A and B are shown apart, each in its own frame.
Chain A
């Protein structure tokens, strides 16, 4: 075996090890949560409200709350983010202004989530008068996920070949028709990748909803977008930091974690399914 072969083998071996390390970490987290969480899971756990100072009963209001907040955030952030990305890649004149916006968007992604929480409190809860509500929480989470959606969409749009845009224009389509009917559909799989990342982020964040949406404990279910809600991440946080029955609460916290993981996974799967279907139709 020559020197080059040895180096190549060592190189591939190193890559394999890195990959394996990732799988091990991921597997360890899933296994750990599953083992501790599974005993708590039951039909009642998934469908009932908490009882006895949150030491028994279920977490249904929190599941529902997280679903509402996440969907709300994506519903707001997706059109806003895609529109922003379309403007930046398709319409805006190239120059320092666009670069500045791009840099700001990326910086926005690095802002700590608790800062978004305070921003949401000041702007949506107080400023706009939405109160502590699903609306305020969704909007705050939308701000948080916006950079993910914008940058994923921008990359997806830039990856659509110029020749395809020219083909559309050459057939007498306007720029807008070209974007709507050719460029956006072609970029959809990439945009959905941004959505997948956003869903995970929005569903899992605690800090942004701490002051804007989440309640420690609610008797009933939310009846409008102006209702406070329980949410899984905050529920887990509350169970682990407050209350007087640590043992019972820890069990429920692990159960809730498992449910949260499953929820994020399920929502991602849905987006992945749509993405795959899109790819099959359009990308041979």
Chain B
């Protein structure tokens, strides 16, 4: 376990109300804010295999937390625990706590569907429904009880605008979403996610299958969304982590090796393994 000094030189001032000096991570490093989400001593097992080892990590509000690490290090497994997508995995077992606004999301009273409305997820490969563009974005609000046509249309338009896709699709809302390009599909998935009005956004390698231009658009979008949402992004791409995130956690073989402000992690990693990874010596 690393012991790091209190430091927070690079985080921007938050745009909303915060509790100063309230949150502190397992590393003893204060982020300055009550974390929106936090993992406490999380172990996760696929059958007998331990995929995550004693993970403690905070997601401070209105910041982007990047999770980097080589393939198979458990970063996707971890992010999928934050909205309980791993509930579907047979023979999996979780130890430890994952808190959203201080409440354990795995407590019996917490319904997975309700949780996922608050904690949205964008996946590695764009996965639009085989439906029209409109239906894709309207799906979440509809499932969650929004029936009024006008309100629904407004929600769809706002979400598409928020995802910087509106101008490209406003004349083809009734066409199949599968006719969009990969980058557009991924922005549609983001719009679909925003339409449910979540509080936390999880991105699981959102640009893994996109070209550089589409990637740039998604990154710009994430930087823009940061002002309103708490964001976690898993990425293979260290430049991406450096570009979009406020804080970075380095995962290796199911463990957190180092976590801290992104600038510090990249400029002055404290652990040899972090340095090796970000300088491209392995992974």
For chain B, the count of residues having a C-beta within 8 Å of the partner chain is 29
Nearest CB on A from B105, distance (A): 13
Give the docked Cα–Cα distance between A177 and B113 (Å). Answer: 11
B129 in the interface (beta carbon within 8 A): yes
B74 within 8 A of A: no
CA distance A171 to B193 in the complex (A): 7
A54-62, A180-188, A218-226, A246-254 - the one binding chain B: A180-188
In the complex, whether A173 has a CB less than 8 A from a CB of chain B is yes
Chain B 102-130 near chain A by CB (<8 Å), digits 1 or 0: 00000000001110110011010101111
Whether A177 contacts B130 by the Cβ 8 Å rule is: no
- Among A168, A171, A186, A280, chain B packs the most CB atoms within 10 A around the CB of A171
0 or 1 for each of A239-270: is its CB under 8 Å from B? (1 = yes): 00000000000000000000000000000000
Asked if B143 lies at the interface with its beta carbon under 8 angstroms from chain A, I say: yes
Q: Do A282 and B130 contact each other (CB < 8 Å), given the known contacts A171-B140, A171-B193, A173-B143?
A: yes
Across the interface, which residues of B come within 8 angstroms of A169, CB to CB? 85, 88, 112-113, 116
Interface segment among A132-140, A159-167, A230-238: the answer is A159-167
User: What residues of chain A lie closer than 8 Å to B192, measured between beta carbons?
Assistant: 167, 171
B120 touches A171 (CB 8 A): yes
**A151 to B117 alpha-carbon distance, docked (Å):** 35
Does A127 sit at the interface, judged by CB under 8 A? no
Q: Contact residues of A with B, CB < 8 Å?
A: 161, 163-164, 166-174, 177, 181-182, 185-186, 280-284
17 new A-B contacts at CB < 8 Å, known A172-B114, A172-B196: A163-B123, A163-B127, A164-B127, A164-B129, A169-B88, A169-B113, A169-B116, A170-B83, A170-B85, A170-B116, A171-B120, A173-B140, A174-B113, A185-B131, A281-B176, A283-B176, A284-B176
